[in-house]
Structure 1
Amino acid sequence: MQIAELLLLAAIWGASFLFMRIATPEFGPIALITLRVGIAALVLLPMLRTGDARQHLRNKAGPFLIAGIFSSALPFCLFAYSTLHLNAGFDSILNATTPLWTGVIAFVWLKKTMKRMQVLGLIISLVGVVTLVWGQVEGDIASSLLPILAVLLATLSYGFSSNYTKQHLADVPSAVVAAGSQLFATLVLLPLVLFTWPSAPISPTAWYAALALGVFCTGVAYFIFFKLIAQKGASYAVSVTFLIPIFGVMWGAIFLGEKITLTMIGASLIILFGTALFTEKLKFSRALQVS
C-alpha cells in the first residue's frame, strides 16, 4: 500500500512543474504561488483544529514564519519564475538536488559528519548538474542561466528549511508543521500580491492549473507525505525525490510536447546516482563507508 502512495506522491509532485509551466505565464510567479499556498492552507486547516495545534502556532510563530518562507514561499516563487524559461522536465531533474543541499547545510551548519561515499556522491551529482546545465545553456546562456540559478537557489532553500525545521520545530507534529508553514507562507505573500496581480483576464486553463497546484500538489501531497513519514519513516518518504524527475519529464513530454534529450536522460541518471550515494540509499561494502 505504501509503495502505491509513494508513486502517487511522486506523480503529483512531478505534475507540479507541469501546472506551474501552464499557469505562471498568466498569473506571474508571486500571484500564482500566493494562490498555491493559500489554497493549500485551507486544505490543511483541519490539521490545526485542536487546541494543542493552535498552541504550537502561538508559541512558535517565529519558527513557523521562517519555515513558511524557506519551505514554500521563496522556493515556490523561484520555481514558478524558472518555468517561464525552462521546461517542466528540466526543473524536475534539478529538483533532485534537494537532498544534496540538505546534507551540505547539515555538514556546514550543524557540523554533521560526511562519509567518504557521501562526498563521492556529492561530486558525482555536481557533475550531473553541470552536464544538465551545460546542455541547456549552450548557445543560449543569457536567457537560461538566471532561471537555472533560481532553481538551484530554490533547492538550497528547501535544504535550509529541512535543517531549520529539525532544529526548531522537532517537537511539533509534522501535520501541524505542514499546515502552519502554508498558513505563514500565505501571510508573507499576501501583501506582495496586491502589487503583482495580473491586469489581463486569466484563462480557465490557468485557473484549473492553479487550483490543482494548491489542492493536489501541495495540500493533498503534504498529507500523503506526512502519512508516509508516520507509517514508514522519514527516510522512506524522502525517497520520493528519486521518482519525481521520472514523472516530471513524462508529464512535460505528454501534455506540453517537451523534448526529452539524451543529455537530460544521462544527466538525470548521474544526479540520481550521486544523490543515492549521498543519502546512503545505495549501499556498498562497509569497507568503503569509512568516516
Structure 2
Amino acid sequence: MKYLPLMAFWLLGIVWGSNFIYMKMAAEYLSPLQIVFLRVAFGFAPVFIYAYFLGVLKRSHFKHLPHFVVMSLLATSVYYFSFAKGASLLPSGIAGALSGTIPLFALLFSVLFLAEEKANLMRVLGLLSGLTGVVLIAKPFAGDIGATNLEGVLYMTLGSISVGASFIYAKRYVLPLNIPAAALTTYQLALSLIMLSIITPFEGIEQITGDLHASLGLIIGLGLLGTGLAYLIYYFIIAKSGPVVASSVTYIPPVVALVIGAFLGEAIGLYEVFATALILVAILLINKKQASESEPSVLKGKHLRES
C-alpha cells in the first residue's frame, strides 16, 4: 500500500498526542515510575504475543543486545519517565507543547552523526515554524507565570532529547541489522520492563484500579496503543522515511492535545488555529527534502496530489 507510510505517520501522531491526558489521569493515583512500569508492561504483552506468532524472535538476535539496551533507555525508560514526570508538574498544554521540540533535537543529532542528513533551508524553516507553533500553543506569556514549573520543563526537555536521539541511533545502528520491527519492539520493551521492575516502588500501585477511566486510559491508551502499537509504527516510519521525517511526527501531539482540550471544554480561538497551522506547515517543510530524493517520504507531495 503506497499510502501506508502516510497513514502510519498520522496515526502515530494521534496516538502519542492522546498520551498526555492518560498520563495526567494516572498521575492522580500513581508515581511517574509506576505509570511507566504499567505502561511498558501492558505494551509489552501484546507485542510479545504478536512477535512470537510471527516467528520473528531469534536467539541469534541477542548478539546485538547492547543496541537493544540503548534503545530501551533512549526510546522507552528515560523518555517515558521524563514525560510522565514533566506532565505531573506542568499544565497539560505546556507539557504537550514542549513535546513538540523532539524534531529539533533529532535534526541536530542527525546533522552531527548521519552523513546523509543535511540541515537545508527548508528544514531550518520547518523547525522554526514548528517551534513557533508549539510555543504559541503553550502561551508562555499568558496567565500565571508560576504555572510553568522549571523542573517540569527540564524533564520534558530531557525526554525530548532522549527520544530525539533514539531516532538517529535506530537509523544508524539498529535498522541496518534487518531485524523485524515486531522483534525490535519486543526486545526494547522487555529490557525496559526488566530495568523498571527493579527500580519501581510498587507500594500503592493498586490504587489505579479505583478509577475505571484512569485504568482504561493507562492499559489501552498508554499501554496497548501508546506503547505496543506506537513502536511498531515507529520503526516502520524510520525505515521508510528516515529519522528526521519520522521525528517530525512529534509536531502532531500538541495539536491533538489541543483538540482533546476542546472536547473537555477548553476554549479554542483563532490564536490556537494559527499555531496549529504553523505546526502543519512545519511538517510539510521538514518533509520537503525527502520528496526530491529516492528515499520515500511519508508526506511526498506527489502522493498527496495523487490521493
Question: 1:214 pairs with 209, 223, 245, which one?
Answer: 223
CA-CA distance at 1:223 after TM superposition:
3.7
2:299 paired residue number: none
Higher normalized contact order (CA 8 Å, seq sep 6+, divided by chain length): 1
Q: How many Å separate the matches in 1 of 2:44 and 2:90?
A: 28
**Residue deviations 1:139-174, cap 9 Å, x none?**
424752322232222121111111111222121222
When normalised by structure 1's length, the TM-score is 0.79
1:23 paired residue number: 26
Q: Residue 53 of structure 1: SS of its match in structure 2?
A: coil
CA-CA distance at 1:30 after TM superposition:
0.6
CA-CA distance at 1:48 after TM superposition:
4.1
**RMSD value, Cα:** 3.3
- My pick for the range that moved more, 8-17 or 60-69, is 8-17
Distance 1:250 1:271, change over 3 A: closer
Question: 1:75 pairs with 65, 72, 79, which one?
Answer: 79
Which structure 1 residue ranges, 5 or more long, are not aligned?
A: 285-291
CA-CA distance at 1:250 after TM superposition:
1.4
Alignment of 1:148 onto 2:143: no
**Does the 8 Å contact 1:99/1:279 carry over to 2?**
no
CA-CA distance at 1:122 after TM superposition:
3.1
CA-CA distance at 1:282 after TM superposition:
9.6
1:186 paired residue number: 193
Question: 1:166 pairs with 164, 167, 171, which one?
Answer: 171
2:44 paired residue number: 41
**What is the correspondence of 1:87-102 to structure 2 with a 5 Å cutoff?**
87-102=91-106
Q: How many Å separate the matches in 2 of 1:85 and 1:261?
A: 26
When normalised by structure 2's length, the TM-score is 0.76
Q: Percent identity?
A: 25
**Residue deviations 1:13-65, cap 9 Å, x none?**
22211111111221111101111111111111035427763335411111111
Q: How many Å separate the matches in 2 of 1:4 and 1:275?
A: 14
**Does the 8 Å contact 2:93/2:137 carry over to 1?**
no
2:211 paired residue number: 204
CA-CA distance at 1:4 after TM superposition:
5.7
Q: How many Å separate the matches in 2 of 1:139 and 1:9?
A: 32
CA-CA distance at 1:270 after TM superposition:
3.4
Distance 1:57 1:24, change over 3 A: farther
The letter of the residue matching 1:173 is P
1:66 paired residue number: 70
Q: How many Å separate the matches in 2 of 1:21 and 1:124?
A: 28
Q: Residue 60 of structure 1: SS of its match in structure 2?
A: helix
Distance 1:130 1:5, change over 3 A: closer
2:288 paired residue number: 280
1:289 paired residue number: none
**Does the 8 Å contact 2:167/2:246 carry over to 1?**
no
Question: 2:15 pairs with 12, 16, 19, which one?
Answer: 12
CA-CA distance at 1:6 after TM superposition:
5.1
Q: How many Å separate the matches in 1 of 2:219 and 2:280?
A: 30
Q: How many Å separate the matches in 2 of 1:35 and 1:26?
A: 13
**Does the 8 Å contact 1:47/1:179 carry over to 2?**
no
Distance 1:126 1:244, change over 3 A: closer
Paired positions, count: 280
**Does the 8 Å contact 2:123/2:286 carry over to 1?**
yes
Q: How many Å separate the matches in 2 of 1:129 and 1:36?
A: 26
Alignment of 1:250 onto 2:263: no
